[in-house]
Every structure is written in structure tokens, then in C-alpha cells.
Structure 1
């Protein structure tokens, strides 16, 4: 499950109750979180300029220090506390811990600085945490063999974690109900969309900004072991149970038309 930091802060108590219930029923959630708005706010307070290139934050050493502080030290522990307060058990991790997320510079590093691409996920660490009865909560900071840190887009990190764990489903919890498409002048949520259709929507500009990394991450992990990615709003009643057990919520991203439900 990928959750934005700002999205998690606004989630109702019922979301965490549901997470607790699913864990008791034998579901093993793994959470990768972001925190873009909180990072931007902290950078602003510190007088550090920030900019974005194709939806990704340009990251120098000063920005990277703030990213790690906010994600690993702030938001990660806030999520763990919220889960604990609602009866479940959680264990906070950074991608740096135990070299959980190994990374290399992004292809356009000359434009965006210390932003990384995931090369490996040490899935054994996550599996041990789950075997102990905890929900892993992962901050998307990567590291290379030389100890250099990288800012990893949370959607990209979540997709990599899902692929390396070999899970069938990734849920992207957002503040929007799914992928929207303009039909007869009105925005409508797409129930299902294929990888090919996503590429066409990016090319046409219907998918833009921060939604691009989300769907790109979905496409990457679907090309691996993940069967489907579901983009949902965390404010929907019963969102997790419906996404995991029932379907019929948000946008389901699938590989080809052969995977359509209807």
C-alpha cells in the first residue's frame, strides 16, 4: 500500500480500524509513504528553494537532509503512532535501514540531483517484520553501496517493494477517487484502465503532474509480478476492505484487456 503523507494525516479513524481488522484476518499490509507537502513546508520555513521536474523534486544535499528528516523522523513515526493507537502493531523503517532500498542515480540526475531509481529491495527484512506480527511502514529514502542517500519517489518505491515481495495487488491511497477522464465534458472515474490506455492518456495530457509518477510506478510493477494496482481515495467508507476483498472502488490498473472484469 502506498499512502501520501498528507493523505494519511487526513484519513479517518475508521481507516486505521479497518487496517487493524484486515491484519487480524490474516492480511499482511505493507505501507510505503510519501510526504511531499510536509517536505515543501519545512523547506520553506528553512528558506531552502525547491522545484520540480516532471513531477519529481529536484534534490541537492540540503534538500536531501530535509527530505530524510521529514520522512524518516517525522511522518514515518506519526504513521506508526496512529496504527498503534488503533490497536494494530507497526514497525517504522527507512530504505536506508539494512540497505532495505538500494538505489542508483535517476537517468536524468543532471536535472534533478540526488533522486534515485530502485535497483534492489531487501524483501527479507520486510518479511521478518511481518512474521513478527508488525505492519512495516517504510520511508522512501534509498542508499547505494557507497552510502550515498537518494530521494525516491514514494510511488516508485512502493511499486518496487510490491514487485520484490511478489504480491498480487498494490493499493495507492490518495485524496482523489481514482484516475479521472473527461467524458462528455464531465470528469468521471475510470473503473479499469490498461497500461496502453495509461500511456495514451499521458501523451494526451489527461494524466499530468503528480499523477504521472503514480501511474508510471503502477505500470512498472504490473510488468513485474503484481497483478493489479488500485488507485483509491482514503476517505471512501470501507476503502481497504473493498479494495482487497470486493473490488468496485477506485481505478483498477491492469496489464491488458484480457484482465478486464467485464
Structure 2
């Protein structure tokens, strides 16, 4: 199935997503594309853990996930955050369905390091039949990154990693990372298109700095699969520029620049 666009919404940006953003998701569907949303929910998880007095820590950028933490993560991601995104999509006249990666064994994982990280998983396969079936019914899937292993045990999965795996499994034509800026900025202006080589140069030169660094690194990691390019966009606005298609910065591999420009 062609025309699939996987859109990853980070937890830190969810509260800033505009009505125009959700209208754009529905517009994608109306134009014959097939949006699939994958979301995080870090700030909401942090607040709930604090309310429940459950200790949580990060190890090498990943949340150490004990049994208590996992139960809280599932409750927040699959309940509050997922259903809020479903509602906002449907408020924009789209038909959405919320699910988690553990549903129908959609996102199969293995533990990253049980001793060090607990129930944190890395994707090993994506069973895409369910997503294809939902798309064929003109529904917009919205996926929480909870994976499952061959023994039926659930795992917390980094949302960037989950989105990349799902995009690759679906043979998506594009993966979009939603942020709170207009893309990769240089001299105050968003760049339309950069290569992976240029991204490394901009990091070294300080053009890309701060919170944008982990975002572009996640984008570059996603390019290791079959995806031709990744885009970074601002969720505070509509995804489209009049007559120009999707906004933001497109990132491609150096070798594919000729074919996608």
C-alpha cells in the first residue's frame, strides 16, 4: 500500500499541537494519503509517577521501567494520551482509532537490557495487517508505543524507535517528526532540505544545537531502513504550505539527494 505517512508526536509537544495540525492530518487523508500517528507522552507519565510516588530514572536516555513504572506508562499512554489524540483528530472531522503496539502483537520486541533498564523493549518485527485493515476502512490509526514479546510480556518502547520501526514495516513513503520549531534552522530560517552528511556538519558547527540534536539523530537513525527521507515539522501550525506540500525540513541520505530533490 503506497502513500503511508507515519507521523511521530513527542510527548513534550502534545500540549502544543494546534487545531490546524489536526486539520492537516485529516487533509492528508482527503488527498489520498494514509496518515499513521505514533505518540509518546513523557511529561504526562512524569506527572502521574509523581502523583503515585513511584520513583523513575533514565539510563542512557531511556526510562528504566520497573513493573510499577510499566503499569503507569501503559495507563497514561494507552488511556489518557492516546484517547486525547483520537478525540482531537475526530474533532477535526477525521475518523481515528487508538491502539497500542501490544494489540494483536502489532509491535513485537525483545528486551534491551533487563538488568539495566527493566521492561524496555526494542522492536524486532511489526505485524502490519491490522494497520492496513484500518487504513482500508478509511480510519486513522493512532498508536501508543507499548510492545510485546513472544511470551506476551509488555514493554515500554521509545516512541522515536517505535515510529521508525512502524514506518519501515509499513514501507511508508515518509516519516515525520513533530517538534515545536519549524524545522532545522540556519540564520533564523528553516532549511527546506538537508542531507545526513550536512546534519553532522551542522552539529559540529553549532548550527544544530540543544534539543534539536536528539531529534535529528533520531531522524538519521530512521534513515538506516528503507525510508527515502524523514521530515521535521512544527506541530504548532498546519503541516502544509500553500501550494508547496508539507512544511518543515526534509532530511535525506547523501546518496539519495538526486532522486528526491
For 2:213 and 2:38, the matched residues in 1 are separated by 17
> Does 1:34 pair with 2:40?
yes
Shift of 1:255: 0.9
| 1:13 corresponds to | 19
For 2:193 and 2:61, the matched residues in 1 are separated by 24
Shift of 1:4: 1.9
Residues 217-257 of structure 1 show CA distances to partners (whole Å, capped at 9, x for unaligned) of 42333222211110111113x32x349x7357322211115
Residues 158-213 of structure 1 show CA distances to partners (whole Å, capped at 9, x for unaligned) of 111111110121111111222356x6xxx66444333344456667885566852x
SS of 1:41's equivalent in the other structure is helix
Shift of 1:45: 0.9
Aligned ranges for residues 22-101 of structure 1 at < 5 Å? 22-101=28-107
For 2:64 and 2:20, the matched residues in 1 are separated by 36
Q: Normalized against structure 2, the TM-score is what? A: 0.86
Contact kept in structure 2, 1:191 and 1:248, CA below 8 Å: no
For 1:196 and 1:83, the matched residues in 2 are separated by 36
SS of 1:232's equivalent in the other structure is strand
SS of 2:20's equivalent in the other structure is helix
| 2:108 corresponds to | 102
Aligned ranges for residues 115-194 of structure 1 at < 5 Å? 115-180=120-185, 189-194=190-195
For 1:58 and 1:188, the matched residues in 2 are separated by 37
For 1:3 and 1:221, the matched residues in 2 are separated by 15
Shift of 1:56: 1.8
| 1:232 corresponds to | 233
Unpaired runs of 5+ residues, structure 2, are 1-6
Q: Normalized against structure 1, the TM-score is what? A: 0.85
Contact kept in structure 2, 1:55 and 1:209, CA below 8 Å: no
Aligned alpha-carbon RMSD (Å): 2.6
